[in-house]
Chain A
Amino acid sequence: MSGAAAVASVPAPVRRSTMERRRLWALWGSYAALAVFVVTFLVPPYYVLATSLKTDADIAAQVGNPWLIHHVTFQNYIDLFMMPNFRGYFLNSAMIAAVTVSVSMVISVMAAYGLSRLGFKGSAVLGSGVFLTYLIPDSLLFIPLFQVVRMLGLINKVWCLALIYPTLAVPFCTWIMIGYFGSIPKELDEVALIDGAGYLRTLWSIFIPVALPGIIAATIFAFTVSWGEFLYPIAYLYSSDQKVLTVGIAGDLIRGDVFQWGKIMAGCVIAAAPPIVIYAFLMDYYIAGLTAGATKG
């Protein structure tokens, strides 16, 4: 019996091995191509990091390979943290991000609950409207908003950003939350309402805990938007003590034609660190937030 089985299976391994070999080639080919992409993608971040660790003399020397670090130094980072202006930018960015995230999350969670559960006349239209506002870019509105901010007396006041940033975060966060709330079974909140819980209590103790992944994804989105926004701060803020990181780094470190490249790059590394750290720890939520726009209806 074993002999018959052996005879019968002779041709099979040969065929499988060619197929396996082809699959192996495809696999290693994919790895190689991916590696090329990864290296290409990481060239600019690497170069920023490398420059930030160089001495000013090495950067200016123009001799030797600029891709290598000849003398590693942390002087640029130390200098930056000694600069009161830079500490101010960081604090401003952090404050604005904290306010933006909390305000946007409260507004959008409430709106998403209202839109997905407490249907009212026009809630469907409002839902589509929210999605449309997400598609309105900042560069379409920054000039009329300049007038609005000026009328409110908030030009060159960092707090004007806390007022405006929620408009960038709320539409998409609401959209994400509508998707997550929609996946919660209706029976759950009906039971809560029958048991005498109010709408706010139902939202707080049922919807928010159950839709926590959505809350995290939306929070990450609100944070990245507010941390990385460039157009509004460059248009509305001009004194050093009111600027945020994205505009402060280039603006303050470039005096005339003197570029302090080491410090600029160190500033970029510090400013890019918070989003990257969040991303490193919460990648899945980050990606869920990214894809929610198109894959959640």
Chain B
Amino acid sequence: MADGSPVAADPPSRVRRRRSGMRRLLQRRSTVGVLFCLPMIVLIGGLVLYPACYALYLAMLNRRMTQFVGLGNFAFLLQRQTFRLVIFQSCLFAVSAVLLKAFFGFILAHLMSNIPSGRQRIWRGLLLVPWVIPLALSTLGWWWLFDPSYSAFNYVLQDLGFAPIPWLGVAWPARLCMITVNVWFGTSFFMIMYLAALKSVPEQLYEAASIDGAGTFQKMFYITVPMIRNIISVTVLYSLIVTFSNFDIVRILTNGGPEDKTHVFATYAFQVGIQSGDIPLGASVSLFMFPLLAVFAYFVLRNVTRRGKEMAL
């Protein structure tokens, strides 16, 4: 990634000793480099960094944005039972969904690697369909499947002699439905990442282990898992960020109901900030995500750059 930087990082004294034409070229090269990056810097500076800092400022204003209230919004939120539930639900949603996705994705990747590679294409194609459909649209489909009076799942349940379940009308079933939709959506992403990682494990390791008499599970825990640990952690952390900040599923399935018992940070911030018009409070709700996301992001970046260095060596 930083392939070009050693050129510019030469100490100035050494650069000065070279021919001045070379120096001009170097100077021009780095100036051109900055120019090439300028549109991106402007875009990210103006529409990512500036809003992020602006959010900090916004979160410290009162509702009408006339007065500075310091950390008042955060304190106010933490006192509210609804918001404490939001914290609990967001963590429950993110952790259980990511664990399930990682688990099923791992199983799927191993099933896929069992079948001959010529046949993998079609199966992979079918399994990735949930990931390809825009989440907002497929969640509409799930919403219809969970519909209180027309639920097609309840038809099956009643056919088998069970009582119908009010899927989205009661807190716990609704939370499980949210998790189900997220697992359905994201499992194949984990599978694809694991498959890519599995292909990078040298076949000789497995052969050597077989000769030494290692069983399937021993091979998995002593060869596969250590070899692909880095990709597993990057995928899990990345997925934690995306799942933790998910908006589409909850907004469409329950919109936070029943009685605000399914809200997550994103939907609660939307309800408070956009729908009720309390922009500062909404900004503080979404800022509550920031510390956790920052920690996850730090570890993703560390793993990715470490991997990049390993590959460069």
Residues of B within 8 Å of A2, CB to CB, are none
Does any Cβ of B come within 8 Å of A153's Cβ?
no
Q: Do A250 and B30 have beta carbons less than 8 Å apart?
A: no
Say what secondary structure dominates the interface of chain A. helix
Residues of A within 8 Å of B1, CB to CB, are 115-116, 124, 127, 178, 182, 297
Q: In whole angstroms, how far apart are the Cα atoms of A67 and B270 in the complex? A: 35
Say what secondary structure dominates the interface of chain B. helix
Does any Cβ of A come within 8 Å of B220's Cβ?
no
Does any Cβ of A come within 8 Å of B189's Cβ?
yes
Residues of A within 8 Å of B200, CB to CB, are 295
The interface size of chain B toward A, counting residues with CB under 8 Å, comes to 113
Residues of B within 8 Å of A67, CB to CB, are 152, 155-156
Residue with the highest number of chain A CB atoms closer than 10 Å, among B48, B130, B137 = B137
Residues 246-264 of B at the A interface (beta carbon under 8 Å)? 246-248, 251-252
* Selected interface stretch from B15-23, B49-57, B67-75: B49-57
Does any Cβ of B come within 8 Å of A121's Cβ?
yes
Contact of A42 among B126, B231, B273 (CB under 8 A): B126
Residues of A within 8 Å of B238, CB to CB, are 135, 293-294
Q: Which residue of B lies closest to A131 (CB)?
A: B301
Does any Cβ of B come within 8 Å of A143's Cβ?
yes
Q: Do B145 and A279 have beta carbons less than 8 Å apart?
A: no
Does any Cβ of A come within 8 Å of B117's Cβ?
no
Q: In whole angstroms, how far apart are the Cα atoms of A66 and B223 in the complex? A: 47
Contact of B30 among A121, A124, A249 (CB under 8 A): A121
A144/B126 contact (C-beta < 8 A), A111-B40, A297-B304 known: no
Q: Do B274 and A42 have beta carbons less than 8 Å apart?
A: no
Q: Do A272 and B47 have beta carbons less than 8 Å apart?
A: no
Does any Cβ of A come within 8 Å of B201's Cβ?
no
Does any Cβ of B come within 8 Å of A31's Cβ?
yes
Q: In whole angstroms, how far apart are the Cα atoms of A129 and B41 in the complex? A: 10
Residue with the highest number of chain B CB atoms closer than 10 Å, among A135, A147, A224, A234 = A135
Contact of A291 among B6, B192, B308 (CB under 8 A): B192
Residue contacts A-B, CB under 8 angstroms, 15 given: A34-B127, A106-B39, A114-B32, A116-B1, A131-B301, A137-B289, A138-B245, A141-B55, A228-B135, A250-B140, A268-B137, A268-B140, A271-B134, A283-B121, A294-B196
**Can you name 8 extra interface pairs (CB under 8 A) apart from A139-B266, A147-B54?**
A51-B144, A118-B4, A123-B4, A137-B242, A139-B245, A143-B273, A166-B47, A283-B128
The 7 residue pairs across chains A and B that have the minimum distance between CB atoms: A297-B308, A119-B4, A228-B134, A118-B33, A114-B36, A139-B266, A137-B245
